[in-house]
Amino acid sequence: MRGWKMSGPDTPLFEENDVYVAGDGYPTYRIPAVVVTREGTILAFAEGRASQSDASQNDLVLRRSLDGGRSWTPIQVLAEDGANVLVNPTAVVLDTGRVLLMYQRYPHGFHEREVEPGYTGDRICRSYLMHSNDDGVSWSAPREITRSVKRPTGVTSIASGPGIGIQLQYGPHAGRILMPFNEGPWGAWNVYAVYSDDGGETWQYGETAPKNATGHPNEVQMIERTDGTVLLNARSIGGVRRRKSAISRDGGHTWTSLRDVDVLVEPECQGTIIRYDTPLVAGKDVYLFANPASTEARVNGTVRLSYDGGETWPVARTVYAGPFAYSCLTVLPDGTIGLLYERDGYERITFARFNLAWLTEGKDAP
């Protein structure tokens, strides 16, 4: 222990069930995102796809759990657009209780490599926002926000998350909503934040994080420290197969240069990072991180725990040793941890729920 007690029972708990299974409604599902509403409802988002291709007439879908992830409501189709492709669901729960969902639309026949810069025409990637005020039961119509989140020249693809956004709680920018983004062109990606200071009504984009010489950052997540700074954690492509990080001291507008995080190995895959935000650890920079902990393949799904704001990660435990790809972490009202993850060659998306006694093998519990 480090001078404080962590919430959750002292008996290790681990349970899981499948939320999306290939062939049940759609041929396959990918790209999980999960949040817990102010009322304790778990919202599990994904792309319902016609095939495993990133550009296969994807719809955005949702299942809800009212009992801590033990059971799930039927699949809701939140957004569909014919043969066009909807991707990268990224959600955030605001202090007001409103849930925002951001995503992108690719025109039919145009992959990330093929879309063009600009705001007009039928060959561009566009971004949309929708919201729910009733724990995900109903949703607003999608609203296009492309001009607010995409630079006017030079940028081809844009991608929110995928995963979650955050609402800042500390410092001069408290209340600001941050959505993590990467931008193309293909093979020369950058990462940055898109932010709103008026509850999601209007948005603007910040500067990209300066790159180092070990590859390009790609899919990204962000976390706020108790001193008001923001830490980003990004997938690396073409580098040394380590996660990349940078810090913002101005609410996500600018960033320090990206650096490789030696302990956070990866096979070039999306990852997930969150605060362990519960009353018993209020004011502490306790973080959770999950990804496939391998430099060779998308296997060995591992959850890590940091007590010092991501400087070190002394706790690591394997959730699933087999095929493990994209994932998203969340914290439930009782202090248990949820992980929504792809497994078994994208055959299913599973929700695992566990406590700190399980994660730390009994070393950290009341």
* DSSP H or E run through 90: strand 85-93
Positive or negative, the Cα torsion across 108, 113, 114, 120?
Answer: positive
Supply the residues annotated as catalytic.
Answer: 54, 219, 326
Per DSSP bridges, beta strands 204-205 and 190-196 are antiparallel
Amino acid at site 7: S
Residue 118: how many CB atoms within 10 A of its CB?
Answer: 16
Backbone φ and ψ for 280, nearest 5 degrees, come out as -70, -15
Q: Among residues 267, 282, 266, 180, which one has the least CA distance to residue 231?
A: 180
Q: What is the largest CA-CA distance in the chain?
A: 58
- Provide CB contacts within 8 A for 122, sequence distance 6+: 107
Residue with tokens 């993590």: 180
Residues in the chain: 366
Residue 73: how many CB atoms within 10 A of its CB?
Answer: 14
Cα angle 284-352-168, degrees, rounded to a multiple of 5: 35
Question: Tokens for 259?
Answer: 């650096």
Distances in Å between the Cα of 320 and the Cα atoms of 36, 302, 317, 348 are 23, 7, 9, 13
